[in-house]
């Protein structure tokens, strides 16, 4: 049932969780070298460690989808904050690789609903004509967490070490918990009589495999993986190892990428609403980003080809163009009734983060063979394949 009171404040309170998730999952990008040193990780090990977060995130989407539709947004979000906050504390205290892997698993599972909670609340309470606008606001506000984990994170890591970044993240999780507890109404959504938790879980998986949503699952598999691959890990090694930049300079360039990811979703949502061509915009933007990643790597190391200013411009434009992924949420929302919004959006997010997990492992193997540039090229190839499947299955459906 739609919220009778104002919905803006609860949505923004819930979106603080997305701010936290974006901040905490981006830490390895600017701390990769010290994490490798302190935790004795190889490039493959670093890639595997980074893959644990999105893998746990993807597995978390089934219980999150069930929780949102069975227990409501408030109960689900508060439970997730408790898990994610514990993961941040464990990461800050981690003595070795094993405990860091466990911390990443807790963080991934806890953050799995940080975007779906405000999206589901909006899908149930915001008029349909304004849902795309609020989707853009949620992503723009939530992606501000990427700004925190760019230059500010670089300064913090140099000044107080990488563990301090996880302590700050834990504090942000606690703040978001209190904001949600104070502003988001309780109550359980209506659901079919006699439905079971297992039946609800099967419904999430069935939606993910259904013919109407299959094209969206395909493009989502590679879409978020690009953003996570660049900002979550490989952007930092590319700039620091290949381009020879120090941590702060790399952080400043990644700040531009984060700024693009923060501002562009609202603009892309407005363009999508005005143009009314979501398939063309989604396919065109994702193919374009694949070409730009190839062009970025072709710039090569400093002295051999193009200077870091080229990388800064490319990262910024990639962040703007990939933000057309916001249209995925409106497309999925359009394909299902409101009472299935939590499950359908969770099914899509399962593909977003499942793809990020798989492609992080692939990127780690590519990096072990050809360095950070090969990791970035693996994302370009995935974009081409998954966008092609999106178009093929869309036409077949």
- Give the DSSP letter string of 59-87: HHHHHHHHHHHHT-HHHHHHHHHHHHHHH
Residue 110 near residue 83 (C-beta atoms within 8 A): yes
- Residue that has been written with the tokens 């984990």 in this structure: 149
pTM, to two decimals: 0.73
Domain segments of the chain as ranges: 8-184+201-396
Span 8-184+201-396: which CATH code?
1.20.1250.20
What pLDDT sits at residue 232? 67
What pLDDT sits at residue 211? 82
What pLDDT sits at residue 222? 92
Distances (CA, A) of 373 to 47, 123, 241, 367: 14, 39, 10, 7
The rounded average pLDDT for each run of 10 residues, N- to C-terminus, in the chain (397 residues) is 66 93 80 82 75 81 79 91 95 88 92 87 82 80 78 80 90 94 79 59 73 88 86 81 84 85 84 87 96 91 72 93 89 75 75 82 86 92 95 83
Write the secondary structure of the chain as one string of H (helix), E (strand) and C (coil).
Answer: CCCCCCCHHHHHHHHHHHHHHHHHHCHHHHHHHHHHHHHCCCHHHHHHHHHHHHHHHHHHHHHHHHHHHHCCHHHHHHHHHHHHHHHHHHHHHCCCHHHHHHHHHHHHHHHCCCCHHHHHHHHHHCCHHHHHHHHHHHHHHHCHHHHHCCHHHHHHHHHHCHHHHHHHHHHHHHHHHHHHHHHCCCCCCCCCCCCCHHHHHHHHHHHHHCCCCHHHHHHHHHHHHHHHHHHHHHHHHHHHHHCCCCHHHHHHHHHHHHHHHHHHHHHHHHHHHHHCCHHHHHHHHHHHHHHHHHHHHHCCCCCCCCCHHHHHHHHHHHHHHHHHHHHHHHHHHHHCCHHHHHHHHHHHHHHHHHHHHHHHHHHHHHHHHHCHHHHHHHHHHHHHHHHHHHHHHHHHC
Whole-angstrom distance, CA of residue 33 vs CA of residue 177: 32
Give the burial class of 275: count Cβ atoms within 10 A of its Cβ; 0-12 exposed, 13-18 middle, 19 or more buried: exposed
What pLDDT sits at residue 92? 92
What pLDDT sits at residue 105? 93
Longest CA–CA separation in the chain, Å: 67
Residue 250 near residue 234 (C-beta atoms within 8 A): no
Whole-angstrom distance, CA of residue 290 vs CA of residue 267: 21
Whole-angstrom distance, CA of residue 26 vs CA of residue 30: 8
Measured in whole angstroms, the distance separating CA 48 from the mean position of its chain's CA atoms is 17
Tokens of 155: 């300064």
């Amino acid at each position: 049932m739609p919220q009778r009171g104002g919905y803006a404040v609860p949505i923004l309170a819930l979106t603080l969780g997305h701010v936290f998730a974006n901040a905490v999952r981006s830490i390895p990008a600017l701390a990769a070298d010290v994490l490798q040193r302190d935790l004795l990780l190889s490039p493959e090990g670093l890639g595997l460690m980074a893959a644990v977060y999105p893998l746990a995130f993807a597995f978390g989407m089934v219980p999150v989808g069930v929780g949102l539709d069975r227990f409501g947004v408030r109960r689900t979000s508060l439970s997730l904050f408790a898990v994610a906050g514990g993961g941040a504390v464990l990461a800050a205290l981690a003595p070795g690789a094993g405990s860091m892997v466990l911390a990443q698993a807790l963080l991934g599972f806890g953050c799995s609903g940080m975007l779906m909670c405000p999206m589901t609340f909006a899908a149930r309470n915001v008029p349909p004509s304004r849902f795309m606008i609020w989707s853009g606001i949620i992503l723009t506000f939530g992606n501000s967490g990427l700004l925190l984990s760019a230059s500010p994170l670089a300064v913090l890591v140099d000044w107080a070490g990488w563990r301090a970044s996880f302590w700050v993240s834990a504090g942000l999780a606690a703040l978001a918990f209190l904001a949600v507890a104070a502003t988001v109404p309780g109550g359980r959504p209506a659901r079919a009589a006699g439905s079971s938790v297992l039946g609800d879980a099967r419904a999430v998986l069935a939606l993910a495999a259904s013919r109407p949503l299959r094209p969206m699952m395909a493009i989502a598999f590679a879409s978020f993986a690009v953003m996570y691959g660049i900002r979550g890990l490989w952007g930092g090694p590319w700039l620091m190892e290949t381009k020879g930049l120090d941590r702060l300079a790399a952080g400043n360039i990644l700040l531009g990428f984060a700024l693009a990811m923060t501002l562009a979703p609202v603009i892309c949502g407005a363009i999508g609403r005005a143009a009314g061509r979501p398939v063309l915009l989604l396919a065109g933007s994702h193919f374009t980003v694949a070409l730009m990643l190839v062009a970025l790597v072709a710039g090569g190391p400093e002295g051999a080809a193009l200077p870091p200013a080229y990388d800064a411009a490319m990262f910024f434009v990639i962040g703007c163009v990939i933000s057309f992924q916001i249209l995925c949420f409106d497309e999925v929302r359009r394909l299902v009734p409101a009472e299935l919004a939590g499950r359908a959006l969770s099914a899509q997010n399962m593909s977003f983060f499942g793809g990020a997990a798989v492609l992080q492992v692939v990127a780690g193997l590519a990096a072990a063979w050809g360095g950070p540039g090969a990791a970035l090229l693996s994302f370009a190839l995935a974009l081409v394949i998954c966008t092609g499947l999106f178009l093929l299955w869309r036409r077949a459906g």
